[in-house]
Chain A
Amino acid sequence: MIALARKTLVYEWRRFVPAVLAVGFSGLLLAVQAALVLGIFGSAALYVTASSADLWAGYPGTQSVNFGRAIDPGVEMRLRLDPEIAAVEPYLWVDGEWSAGSVSSGSVSIYLSGISTRPDALMFAQVLPTALRDRLREPGAVIVDPVDLDTLSVEVGGRAWINSHAVHVVAVVPGLRGLGGVNVLASLDTARQIGGADAAAGSTYYVARTVGTGRAEAVRARLMAGRGSMGPVEFWTAPEFAQRSQWYWLLDTGAGVAVLFMALIVCLVGAVITSQSLASVVANSAREYAMLNALGASRWALARVVVEQSFWIGGLGLLLALLASSGLLLIAAAYHVPVAMTLLVALGCVLLVACLVLCSGLVAVRGLMRADPTLLLR
């Protein structure tokens, strides 16, 4: 069989360039959008994902880490008593106002995380080296992300105020950028002092590590069942709480709808351009196709040529999208733009683009129905 689809694609490649570019561009936009969503909304759960705790105790119904409220200090005891729990520590959340230079100058809203300074502490264990954590023991010592220094108008070693309490930046650690506010790390004592009366009573969260792996879910269920004697509290496994925080930002803030809407537009525009340029290629060859049909080639056989062409276009477009989006995301990451990508999401983008190409191909195939051999009569 003469490879009509492929030979035409090679010989008349200029005609197919718009379609390949449309597919490539759709893929690129989808991937970048997904990466931004993962990067930005992923950071809503930074507190969970950057820590090595696998159980979280917090105020019932807390939708996102940043909405924590003080819970009964008795919860810590309850956690420690569970035979399958190896370590427990409090995590104090304080919403604060940061001002640099002087108390009266403009302020930035920050999320102050009061964390344990023990060497084997759980909170932020993935990003905070032990040596730096140790420096938080100093009263008023804080650590921020280097990228946030500008926002905070401060330098390493510089002084500033949080809620009118003096603090000084002892170090910077990358990987602390958050959503909705700048993350500032301090010791539990520093955070309590800054938080004042609210914070002094107990803690916003208690985080724990279970003994064996894969036991978190079972321990959580047991803790939930034995809640009766305690004040208001709810327990989550780490992945559950992380997802809760991300979904909150994605769905309840309307950001998710905006993202879906954008993705829809991207797909729609991509499909329109791809199908239009494929259809014009088909229309351009309508007489030749009609000739083949006159000679007895079935419409189905002709449709296969068009579908094969759209597969090639899809493949080339996806390759283009892959190269362009990896390049762009690497550059973005180098400039500290919050981007992230997972294999599953990447496959999702590929699938979406493949659907787009298939639909475009089918629309273009409809143009074949006009390639009737009576067209050739004179």
Chain B
Amino acid sequence: MSSETATVQKTSANPKPSLMAEGLDKAFMSGKIRVQVLQSLGISIYPGELTLVAGPSGCGKSTLMSLLSGLQRPDAGHVYALGQDISHLDRRELERFRLLNTGFVFQGFNLFPALTATEQVQLPLGYMGVDDKRSADRAMRALEEVGMVHRANMRPAELSGGERQRVAIARAIVKEPPLLFADEPTSALDAENGQRVIDILHRIAGTHGATVLCVSHDPRLIRHADRVLEMEDGAIRSDRRSGTHDSQGVCA
């Protein structure tokens, strides 16, 4: 598919960001020392494109992703996800928000050893109250999307790393979430499988109009992203769009 034209069209058709952060602060206690990871960071992420947050290890990429996705709460500032301020929701409300709106892909595949690929993908739907028959259908479609139908009845032990990550992606997209987050999704994979995974993520942004935020230190991914945010020491240094559609940095 011609991702570049598609991106330009989608971005111009959707000027409203689906994820927006203002004045984000996040610090961690490392022993007795307080480590400020993010300081008054602002950012806007748009639907229909694959946004990559790149930067060296430890610069705060994963922390930023966890705040934008409602895995953690910021110390200060606001996160608006799909128009809702999620920065001050309590744990249960965040779980509910994530259940309805977000998918995740992590470096580790985190598949249950006992379940077949189909069952892995069905599992999150069960928590949304989807019955087994319908969830099985939807799981099949998700597996189809990642090209794993032929492995539908296999358990993780019988799958390669790349195949496991594709099952994990199917699990993340089966509920068709408007927001899809990936943290170092290719780091545990070889070049070919990494390529495949990023292609799938890219395609999902295009076909489902989802907001795909990928966080990685892997420079190979940069050329597959519609938009690349370079991060350094907890701040965004540059903001580039592939093709012609460049914009200014949104640094803090």
Task: Say yes or no: B66 contacts A377, CB within 8 Å.
Answer: yes
Q: Are B119 and A2 in contact (CB under 8 A)?
A: yes
Q: A290 near B112 (CB under 8 angstroms)? A: no
Q: In the bound complex, how far is the Cα of B126 from the Cα of A187, in angstroms?
A: 78
Q: Indicate if the CB atoms of B114 and A296 lie closer than 8 Å.
A: no
258-304 of chain A: CB within 8 A of chain B: 285, 287-288, 290-299, 301
What chain B residues lie within 8 Å of A301 (beta carbons)? 127
Q: What residue in chain A is nearest B168 (Cβ atoms)? A: A291
A 1-34 binary contact with B (CB < 8 Å = 1; else 0): 1101001101110000000000000000000000
Contact of B104 with A291 in the complex, beta carbons under 8 Å: yes
Pair B115/A295 contact, Cβ less than 8 Å: no
Determine whether B137 belongs to the interface, using a CB cutoff of 8 Å to chain A: no
Binary contact readout B112-127 vs A (1 if CB under 8 angstroms, 0 otherwise): 1111000100111011
* Known interface pairs A8-B114, A377-B106; 16 further A-B residue pairs with C-beta atoms within 8 A, sorted by A's residue number: A1-B126, A2-B119, A8-B112, A8-B113, A292-B124, A294-B106, A295-B171, A296-B95, A296-B100, A296-B102, A296-B127, A373-B104, A374-B72, A376-B107, A378-B62, A378-B184
With a cutoff of 8 Å between Cβ atoms, the chain A residues found around residue B102 in the complex are: 294-296
Does B17 belong to the interface (CB within 8 Å)?
no
Contact-size category for B = 35 or more
Say whether B172 contacts A295, CB under 8 Å. yes
From A1, A285, A293, give the contact of B112 (CB < 8 A): A285
* Cβ-neighbour of A374 out of B71, B92, B99, B111 (below 8 A): B71
Contact call B126/A2, Cβ cutoff below 8 A: yes
A8 vs B102: C-alpha distance when bound (angstroms): 26
- CB of B44 within 8 Å of the partner chain: no
Bound complex: CA A4 to CA B116 (Å): 11
A10 touches B114 (CB 8 A): yes
Least Cβ distance of B132 to chain A in Å? 7
Q: Is B5 an interface residue (CB 8 A)?
A: no
Do B98 and A294 touch (CB < 8 A)?
Answer: yes
- In contact, A288 and B72 (Cβ under 8 angstroms): no
Q: What's the least CB distance linking B192 to chain A, in Å?
A: 21
Contact A377 B183 (CB under 8 A): yes
Q: A294-B71, A294-B98 in contact; A288/B110 too (CB < 8 A)?
A: yes
Could you tell me the distance in whole angstroms from the C-beta of A220 to the nearest C-beta in chain B? 63
Given A1-B126, A377-B62: A288 and B183 interface contact (C-beta under 8 Å): no
CB within 8 Å of A: which B20-77 residues: 62-63, 65-66, 71-72
Across the interface, B119 reaches (CB within 8 A) one of A7, A296, A376, namely A7
Q: Considering only CB atoms, which chain A residue lies closest to B181 in the complex?
A: A294
Chain A residues in 8 Å Cβ range of B72 = 374
Q: List 14 A-B contacts (CB under 8 A).
A: A1-B126, A2-B123, A8-B112, A8-B113, A11-B113, A287-B108, A295-B104, A295-B124, A297-B124, A298-B95, A374-B71, A377-B65, A377-B106, A378-B107
Residues of B within 8 A of A290 (CB): 110
- Min CB–CB distance B153 → chain A (angstroms): 13
User: In the complex, which residues of chain B have a beta carbon less than 8 angstroms from the beta carbon of A1?
Assistant: 126, 132
